[in-house]
Amino acid sequence: MDKDQVAAVLEEIGTLLELKGENPFKTRAYHNAARTLEGLNEPLERLVAEERLSGIKGIGDALQEKITTLVTTGRLPYVEELRASVPPGLLELLQLQGLGPKKARKLHAELGVDSVASLVVACQAGRVAALEGFGEKSQSRILEAVAFRAQFASRHRLMAALAAAEPILAALREHPDVVQCSTAGSLRRWKEVIGDIDFVVSTRRPAAVLDFFVGLPGVRSVLARGETKASVTLDGEGIQADLRVVDDAEYAFALAYFTGSKEHNIVMRQRAIARGLRLNEYGLFRAKEETRDPALRIDCRTEDELYKQLGLDYVPPELREDHGEFAAAETHHLPRLIEWTELKGSLHNHSTWSDGRNAIAEIAAHAQELGLAYWAITDHSRASFQANGLDPQRLREQLKEIADLNRRFADEGSAFRLLTGVEVDILKDGLDLEDDLLAELDVVVASLHVPSGEEAENTRRLIDAAGNRQVHLLGHPTGRLLLERDAYKVNLQAVIDACAATGTWIELNANPYRLDLDWRQWQYARSKGVKCVVNCDAHRLEHFGFLRLGTGVARKGWLTRDDVINTLPLERLRKALAAKRAG
Ligand code: DGT
Ligand code: CA
Ligand code: CA
Ligand code: ZN
C-alpha cells in the first residue's frame, strides 16, 4: 500500500473508534497520523524499509507497527475486526451532511438506529427530536440531508464515470465478435455529471457479446438482460451501465441515437421528416412510417454520412445539446474545437508551500516529462490559513526557489519554465495581497473562497478583482463542487462583461468536482471575446491528468485553440500576461 492508501485506512480506524465511543485522544491520534502521512515528501515504503517511522512526530509504537503491516502486507487484521464490530449501516450514516460519529453513536445506542432507513423511520416518528442534544430542528435537518443524498445517489461525476467505462470499452474492443463499439450517452457528450454509462456495439452474435458484457470483472450485478440490450451495476460507486447491440449496418444510426441528447435527437428526426425520411436508432429510411426494413434504409457507414444526409456538417458529440449546433452545422460555422494536446501548461497549481502534495522540483520534473512548456505555481495566499496560505515573506522565498530552478533549466538547455504566481483570495474589501507584490509575479489568479450569501456582494467582489490590473484571471468562478455544493450566488453575465471590459481571463477549472466556468456560459463569454484558461488546479502529480477532462468541457463550451490562453507558447503567453498590466 502507498501512503495515501495507508492514510485512508488510518482515517477509517479513527472513525470506527469514534463510532465505538473510544477515548478521543486515541481517535484523534489516528486522524492526525493520516494527515501526517498524506503530507510526507518521500515514499512511505522507504521510511518503513529504513525503520525511520519512529522519527516522525505523533507516530508512536502502536501506529508504527500498524503502518508497517499495511505497507508490507497490504492488510491489517485489526481494522478488519474493527469493521466487523460496527454495524455497516452506521458508516452509511456518516455520509449524511452534519452527522458525525458522536451523533451516529448516540442514535444507535439510544434509538437502535443502524442504517439510513431506520434513521428516517425514527425521524418520522419524532423520536430523534425527543433525543437530548437533537431537537426538532436537527431532526428536520437530518431528513433534508437524507433527501439530498438520495437525489445525488444515482448521479456521478464525469471523471468517475470515464474511469469506470474505460476498462469495459477496452474489453469490448478486444472481443472477437465485436465489430465496432463506442461509449454513447451523456458520457460521450462529456456532460460534467452523468446518470448512467451507455455503450453501443455492432456484432453478428448479440448473445455472445451480451454474455461477455454481463460477466465482465467490475460488474457487480445484472439489472436486465434482453436479446439486444443489457443493464448492469458496476463496482465502486455503483454506476449503472447500459449496452445496446445492433447489426453493423445499423451501427452509425444507433451510435448517433444513443449519444443523444434527447433534444438534439428530436431536431435530427424533424430534419429527416422535412426531407420525407424517417430517422430512428436503426437507420434513416425512405419511409413515412416507423420501420426497421433494411431495403428502405439509406446506407450510412459513419455518423458523418448521416449528418451529410440531413444537410449538416458533422457535429462533435460534445456539441449535441441543441445549443445552436444546427444553425452552425448548416452554414459550415461549427468551431474547430480545441484538442487537449494543444495545451502547453497550466496557470493555476499548488505545491507543498501551501496545500499541495508535491515539492516544486518534483512538479517541474513531471511537467517536463509530459512535454509541457510551462507550469505556474500559484499557491494560496495567507487568508486561506487552513490551506497554509503564503504571507508576503514566504511568497518571496518561494520566488527565489523558482528562480533557482529556472536557472537550472536554462543551464541544462531545457526550454521548460516554471512561472511564479499566487492564487490570491478575494476578500470582502479587496485582495489578500498588495498590488506591489502581485506585480512581481508572472501569473495572478484571484479566487473567491469565502463568498457572501448576497448575489450583489459576490458579483461586486469579482468585478472589482477583474478591474485590478495585476489580476490575470478569475479562478473557479462559481465555487461549485459538483454533487456536493451549489455555486454561490453571482450574476455571471455581469462578471463576464467586466472581464471582457478589462481583458481579464476566466478559468475553466479542470478539477472533476469543479469544471467551472460551466460549459453553458462559455458561448456567451466567447461572444464577448473573453479568453479561457483551462487549469488543473493541481494539488498532486496525478492531477495533471485533469487537463484532458477540462479540455473536454472546454470543447463542450464551443472553445477553439484561439479561445484558450494556455495553448500559447511561452513567449506569446508572457506577452499576453504583460498586456493586462499595460491596461
Ligand atoms: P444520463 O444517462 O441521464 O446522464 O443522460 P443520457 O443522455 O445518457 O440519457 P440516457 O442514458 O437515458 O439515454 C441515452 C441516449 O438515448 C439519450 O441521450 C438520447 C437517447 N434516448 C433515450 N431515450 C430517448 C427518447 O425517449 N427520445 C429520444 N429522442 N432519444 C432518447
Ligand atoms: Ca446515459
Ligand atoms: Ca442509459
Ligand atoms: Zn482555489
Atom of ligand 1 nearest to the CA of 265: 29
- The residues, ordered by sequence, that sit 6+ positions from 393 with a Cβ below 8 Å of its Cβ are none
Pick the atom of ligand 1 nearest to 187's CA: 8
Using pLDDT thresholds of 50, 70 and 90, give the confidence band for residue 92: confident
Q: What is the pLDDT of residue 58?
A: 84
Residue 344 dihedral angles phi and psi, to the nearest 5°:
-105, -5
Q: Is residue 2 a contact partner of residue 44, using CB atoms and an 8 Å limit?
A: yes
Which chain residues have CB less than 5 Å from ligand 3, an ion? Answer: 196, 198, 242
Distance 258 CA to ligand 2 centre (A): 8
Compute, in angstroms, the gap from residue 288 CA to the centroid of ligand 2: 29
- The beta-strand segments (E) located in 369-496 are 374-380, 417-427, 430-431, 443-447, 473-474
Q: Which atom of ligand 1 is nearest to the CA of 155?
A: 4
| Ligand 1 pocket, residues with Cβ under 6 angstroms | 185-186, 191, 194-196, 198, 257-258, 260-262, 265-266
CA distance 268 to 325: 11
Q: Residue 305 — pLDDT band, cuts 50, 70, 90?
A: very high
Give the residue among 541, 572, 553 at the shortest CA–CA distance from 506. 553
Treating both helix axes as pointing N-terminal to C-terminal, what angle do 61-73 and 3-19 enclose, rounded to 10 degrees?
A: 130
Place of cell 429510411: 285
Among 162, 153, 168, CA closest to 190? 162
Phi, psi of 339 (to 5 degrees): -110, 145
Comparing C-alpha atoms, which of 141, 518, 461, 153 is closest to residue 323?
A: 518
d(CA 57, CA 69) in angstroms, rounded, equals 19
Q: 259 alpha carbon to ligand 3 midpoint, in Å?
A: 10
pTM above 0.85, yes or no: no
Using the mean position of ligand 1's atoms as its centre, give its distance from the Cα of residue 264 in Å: 10
Bridge pairing between strands 443-447 and 473-474: parallel
**Whether the predicted pLDDT of 437 surpasses 90:** yes
> pLDDT category, 484, cuts 50, 70, 90?
confident
Atom of ligand 1 lying closest to residue 257 CA: 20
Atom of ligand 1 nearest to the CA of 242: 11
Q: How many A from CA of 187 to the centre of ligand 1?
A: 11
- The closest residue, in CA terms, to atom 8 on ligand 1 is 185
Question: Which residue's alpha carbon is at the smallest distance from atom 24 of ligand 1?
Answer: 262
Long-range pairs for 60-69: beta carbons < 8 A, 24 or more residues apart: 60/29, 63/10, 63/29, 63/30, 63/33, 66/10, 66/13, 67/6, 67/10, 67/33, 67/37
Mean pLDDT score, 85-94: 84
CA of 369 from ligand 4 middle (Å) equals 26
Give the single-character DSSP code of 300: -
Residue 514: pLDDT over 90: yes
Q: Residue 21's pLDDT is what?
A: 87
* Cα–Cα distance measured from residue 560 to residue 562, given in angstroms and rounded to the nearest whole number: 5
Kindly give the interhelix angle for 77-84 and 3-19, rounded to the nearest 10 degrees: 40
Give me the mean pLDDT over the 495-518 stretch.
Answer: 98
Residues within 5 A (CB) of ion ligand 4: 447
Q: Could you give the C-alpha distances from 145 to 93, 123, 151, 361, 371, in angstroms and in order?
A: 10, 12, 10, 43, 45
Q: Whose CA is nearest to atom 18 of ligand 1?
A: 260
**What is the number of helices (H) and of strands (E) in the chain?**
25, 17
Pick the range with the lowest mean pLDDT from 143-147, 496-500, 556-560: 143-147
Nearest protein Cα to ligand 1, atom 15: 258
Q: Are strands 229-234 and 156-157 parallel, antiparallel or unpaired?
A: unpaired
pLDDT band for position 152 (50/70/90)? low
The residue behind cell 505555481 is 377
CA distances from 7 to 2, 3, 551 (A): 9, 6, 31
C-alpha to C-alpha distance for 538 and 516, rounded to whole angstroms: 15
From the CA of 96, how far away is ligand 4's center (Å)?
25
Residue 199 CA to ligand 1 center (angstroms) comes to 12
Give dist(CA 195, CA 241) in Å, integer: 9
* Residues in the chain, total: 583
Q: Are strands 156-157 and 193-194 parallel, antiparallel or unpaired?
A: antiparallel
| Ligand 1 atom closest to the CA of 185, numbered from 1 | 8
Measure 549 CA to ligand 2 centroid, in angstroms: 18
What is the atom index within ligand 1 of the atom nearest the CA of 189?
A: 7
From first CA to last CA, the distance across the chain in angstroms is 52
Q: Which amino acid is at 371?
A: G
E-strand stretches of 86-218: 156-157, 178-184, 193-194, 197-203
Mean residue pLDDT of the chain comes to: 95
Confidence check: pLDDT of 251 > 80: yes
Residue nearest (by alpha carbon) to ligand 1 atom 16: 258
Q: Tell me the per-residue pLDDT of 366-378, one tens digit each, with 9 for 90 and over.
A: 999 999 999 999 9
**CA–CA distance, 400 with 289 (Å, rounded to integer):** 73
Distance CA 357, CA 107 (A): 37
CA neighbor of 424 nearest in space, from 500, 348, 510, 504 = 348
Residue nearest to atom 5 of ligand 1 (CA): 186
**Confidence label for 151 from pLDDT (cuts 50, 70 and 90):** low
Tell me what percent of the residues of the chain surpass a pLDDT of 90: 84
**Ligand 2 center–CA 234 separation, angstroms:** 14
Mean pLDDT in residue range 264-274:
97
Cα gap 76→103, rounded to integer Å? 27
122-139 residue pLDDT tens: 999 999 999 999 999 999
Ligand 1 atom 10: residue of nearest CA:
185
Q: What would the mean pLDDT of 164-172 be, rounded to a whole number?
A: 97
Give the ligand 1 atom nearest the CA of 264: 29
Q: Which of 262, 268, 282 to mutate to test the pocket of ligand 1 (most atoms within 8 A of CB)?
A: 262
Interatomic CA distance for residues 211 and 301, integer angstroms: 26
| For residues 11-22, average pLDDT | 91
Q: What is the pLDDT of residues 321-362, one digit of tens each?
A: 999 999 999 999 999 999 999 999 999 999 999 999 999 999
